Structure 1
C-alpha cells in the first residue's frame, strides 16, 4: 500500500513539476523592470482613478506621488465611498494644491457589485483621458510613473497593462511569509513580463492601465463587478475578448505598503490571492495541488528521506521493499523542485525594498502559504475593506 502510494505521488509530482517548468520557462525572456519616464514618447492623456474607503492612514504618500507626475496626466479622480476617518479632508487639501485632483462620491453600492469595482466604474464614467490608470490608495507612485506606463503599453502594443510593485514597509514576519505567498502566484500564472494565454493572465489592480475606448467597448468594469480579484477577472475578460494584455515588472515605478503587519496581510490578501473569481473551480484546485506538490512538500519529503536513510539507502529501515529507482526518482524530483524554488528568491528580490534574512529564508514558509491558499479557495469572503457582503450567490457573477 505504501509502495503504491509512493509511486502515485512520484508520478503526479513529476507531472506537476513539468507543468511548472513549462510555465516558468518564458520568464527567462521577460522584459526588465519598467524604468521611470517623466515624459512619454507619444501625445496622449491619462485619467487616474483612486478608489477610497477610510484610507486616511495610507493615502498621503499616494497623493504626493501623483502630484509629482507630469504630462500626460490629465486628472486624478479620487472616488470615495463616504469615508469617515478624514480621507475626504486629505483629498480636498491635495486638490487645493493641484487642480488635477478631484474628489467624487460614488452612489450607494448596487446589488452584485464589490465596493472597489463600483468606485472604479464611477470614476470610469467621469474620466476624460485616453487611458485610465487605476491606482490603489496604499501605493507610492514614483516620479515618472505615468509616462513610464504609457511608454511600456505603447512599446508592447498593449490595450491593458498592469505592473507589479515593490513592497516596502514590511516587518520581519511579513518578509518571511508574504514572499512565499507571492511565489504561489508566480507558480500559478508565470513570471511578470512573460506572454501568457488569456486564462493565465495575471494583473495587479494597484497599478492597472487600460485604454478607455477598449474598456468602454466591453462594458466598463461590469465584467468584474462581483469579483474580489477584480484586476485579474477584468484582465482575463478583456484578453478573451481580443485585447492585448500585459503584466510587467513595475518595481522601479511604484511601491506599495498595503498591510499593517502579518495578521492583516494574512487575512486581507489571503482572501483574494486564490484568484478563484477569475479561474474555473477545477483549474483553481489543480493549481492548489501544484503548489502543494512542487512548492510546499519537496522540503518535507527531502527531510523525511534524510531522516530515514540513517546513512544508508532511503527506506532501508522504514520501507525495506522500496525500489532503488523510486528512491532516486523521489530524490531527483523533490531536489529539482527545491532548486527551482530557491531560484525564485533571486528572481523576485527586486520586488522587495528591504529583504534581510527573513526574505532569504521565506522558502521555509511555503507550507503556510499553501495552507492559506487552500483556505482561500475553500472559502468565499463575506467582508472586504470595511464592507460586509451577502452570500456568494448574490455577489458573484
Structure 2
C-alpha cells in the first residue's frame, strides 16, 4: 500500500490541486475560443462589396457649379429626395469636420474634400482650438463654425458634430476626422450606399510609418476582427454587437436630426459605436463597408501614440456590457495571446500551432487594410500578448481624458436611452 506523504512533524501533507485539471479546463476554454474565432472569420467569405467611385454620369450625377460660392448656391436648389443628376434631383452633400487643435493635420483633408465635385458644402467646426485650425480652414475656403463652449455631460466630438449638423444644408451629411485623406469618388460612393443603408460607416486603409507602428496597429486591428468579424457582413449583427468607424460616417441630414443621434450619445468616449448601436436599436440599417480604395487615414505618428490613443478606445468599454467585455477579452487572450506566448516559450500545443496559422492567414488578409503594407503586418502576431495586456488595462482602468479635456464615463446601457423616434422614412428617402 502506498504511504501517505507527511510533513517533518509527522502530520499528513495537504493535498495540492491537480495541475492536470486546470490544464484541461484551459484547453477546453481555448478550444471554445478557437471555434468562436473561426466562426467569425468565416463570415468574411460573404461580404458586402467595397465602396467604389461612381462612373461618370452615374449617381450622384454631374458636378455642381465650380468654386465654393457656386457650390453654396447649388445646395438645396434643385435637390429632391430621390437622387439623380444636379438640377434633376441629385442630393447636396455637406461634409462636416470636427476639429480641435488640428492645424498640423487638417490641410490634406481639406484639399481632398474641396476638390471633390460631389461635395457641395464643407463645414469645419472649430472646437475651441488653441492653434490656427480656424484660420487654416477659412484660408482653404471652408465654412468655419466657431464651436460654442462645451456643455456639461457632453464629449467634445459629439458636441462639435451636433453643431455642424445644425449648420449643414445638404440632404446628405458626411462626417470626417481631420486625419482622413479622401480620394475622388468617396462621397458619391457614400451617397449611393445610402440607397441601401440609413447610416454608412467607411473602413479605410491605414497609413502606418515604421515597422513597430505597423505591427502594433495590425495587432490591435486583429483583435477587432477576432471579436466582431470582418467588416461588411451581409447579415447585420444584433444592435449590441454593431461596430462602426467614426472617422467617416454618412447619413441623411433630416433623419439624423429627428433621431437627435449625437445628443443621445453625448457622454460616450466611444462615440461612433455608441451612435451606431443606438440607431440600430431604433431600426436603422447600419452598414460598415470597406472603403479602402477611396479613403486613407493617418491616425498616429508613432507606435507609442498608437499604444496610448488607439488602445484607449478599442476595448469599447463604455458601450459594452461587462459580460461581453469579459467574453471578448477571453477570446483575445486564448486565441491570440496564449499561442504567441507558448510559441515564445517553445511549448506550443497543436491547437496553438493551428491558431497561429489562422492568425498568419488573417495577417495576410489585413495587408489590404494598409496603404503601404510591410513586414510589420505579418509580424504583428508577436505583439498579440502586449495588445491583450493593453486591452485588459484599458477595460479595467478606462481613460477619461481626450484632447486636454477630462470626462466622466458613459454607461453601457445608455446608448439606447432617450427618445426613440424609430427608423427613418425610407420610402421618402428613395
Global fold match (TM > 0.5):
yes
Query: Could you tell me which residue of structure 2 aligns to residue 76 of structure 1?
Result: 122
Query: Could you tell me which residue of structure 2 aligns to residue 58 of structure 1?
Result: 105
- Partner of 2:170, secondary structure, is coil
CA RMSD after TM alignment = 1.9
CA change 1:84–1:363 in 2 (3 A) is same
Contact 2:359–2:381 (CA under 8 A) maintained in structure 1: yes
Answering whether residue 75 of structure 2 is matched by residue 34 of structure 1, we say no
Query: Could you tell me which residue of structure 1 aligns to residue 328 of structure 2?
Result: 287
Quick one: which of 250, 263, 276 aligns to 1:209?
250
Answering whether residue 54 of structure 2 is matched by residue 8 of structure 1, we say no
Gaps of at least 5 residues in structure 1 are 96-100, 308-329
Query: Could you tell me which residue of structure 1 aligns to residue 11 of structure 2?
Result: none
Contact 2:97–2:125 (CA under 8 A) maintained in structure 1: yes
Deviations 1:188-214 (A, max 9, x none): 111111132222211001111122233
Contact 1:167–1:352 (CA under 8 A) maintained in structure 2: yes
Answering whether residue 365 of structure 2 is matched by residue 354 of structure 1, we say no
CA change 1:53–1:296 in 2 (3 A) is same
Q: 1: CA distance between counterparts of 2:251 and 2:220?
A: 27
Deviations 1:290-321 (A, max 9, x none): 100001111323455x54xxxxxxxxxxxxxx
Q: 2: CA distance between counterparts of 1:45 and 1:393?
A: 34
Contact 1:24–1:191 (CA under 8 A) maintained in structure 2: yes
CA change 1:393–1:17 in 2 (3 A) is closer
Q: 2: CA distance between counterparts of 1:70 and 1:393?
A: 39
- Partner of 2:173, secondary structure, is strand
Deviations 1:308-349 (A, max 9, x none): xxxxxxxxxxxxxxxxxxxxxx83432222222111112211
Contact 2:180–2:295 (CA under 8 A) maintained in structure 1: yes
Q: 1: CA distance between counterparts of 2:322 and 2:255?
A: 28
Q: 1: CA distance between counterparts of 2:374 and 2:390?
A: 23
Q: 2: CA distance between counterparts of 1:332 and 1:149?
A: 45
Query: Could you tell me which residue of structure 2 aligns to residue 368 of structure 1?
Result: 386
Q: 2: CA distance between counterparts of 1:278 and 1:393?
A: 8
Query: Could you tell me which residue of structure 1 aligns to residue 298 of structure 2?
Result: 257
Deviations 1:10-29 (A, max 9, x none): 11111111112222221111
Answering whether residue 155 of structure 2 is matched by residue 91 of structure 1, we say no
Query: Could you tell me which residue of structure 2 aligns to residue 186 of structure 1?
Result: 225
- Partner of 1:292, secondary structure, is helix
Answering whether residue 199 of structure 2 is matched by residue 160 of structure 1, we say yes
Contact 1:141–1:254 (CA under 8 A) maintained in structure 2: yes
Q: 2: CA distance between counterparts of 1:341 and 1:395?
A: 30
Quick one: which of 340, 343, 347 aligns to 2:358?
340
Q: 2: CA distance between counterparts of 1:347 and 1:358?
A: 13
Q: 1: CA distance between counterparts of 2:34 and 2:411?
A: 38
Contact 1:170–1:257 (CA under 8 A) maintained in structure 2: no
Contact 1:113–1:395 (CA under 8 A) maintained in structure 2: no
Contact 1:114–1:395 (CA under 8 A) maintained in structure 2: no
Contact 2:95–2:176 (CA under 8 A) maintained in structure 1: yes
Answering whether residue 182 of structure 2 is matched by residue 141 of structure 1, we say yes
Query: Could you tell me which residue of structure 1 aligns to residue 76 of structure 2?
Result: none
Q: 2: CA distance between counterparts of 1:75 and 1:168?
A: 27
Provide the aligned length of Structure 1 versus Structure 2. 365
CA-CA distance at 1:169 after TM superposition: 4.5
TM-score normalised according to structure 2 size: 0.81
Q: 2: CA distance between counterparts of 1:395 and 1:281?
A: 9
Q: 2: CA distance between counterparts of 1:31 and 1:396?
A: 30
CA-CA distance at 1:103 after TM superposition: 0.3
Contact 1:173–1:262 (CA under 8 A) maintained in structure 2: yes
Query: Could you tell me which residue of structure 2 aligns to residue 173 of structure 1?
Result: 212
Answering whether residue 63 of structure 2 is matched by residue 17 of structure 1, we say no
- Partner of 2:329, secondary structure, is helix
CA-CA distance at 1:226 after TM superposition: 1.0
Range that drifts further, 7-16 or 38-47: 38-47
| 1:239-318 alignment runs, 5 A limit | 239-302=280-343, 304=345, 306-307=346-347
Q: 2: CA distance between counterparts of 1:55 and 1:396?
A: 32
Gaps of at least 5 residues in structure 2 are 1-17, 61-82, 84-89, 415-430
Q: 1: CA distance between counterparts of 2:199 and 2:238?
A: 14
- Partner of 1:278, secondary structure, is coil
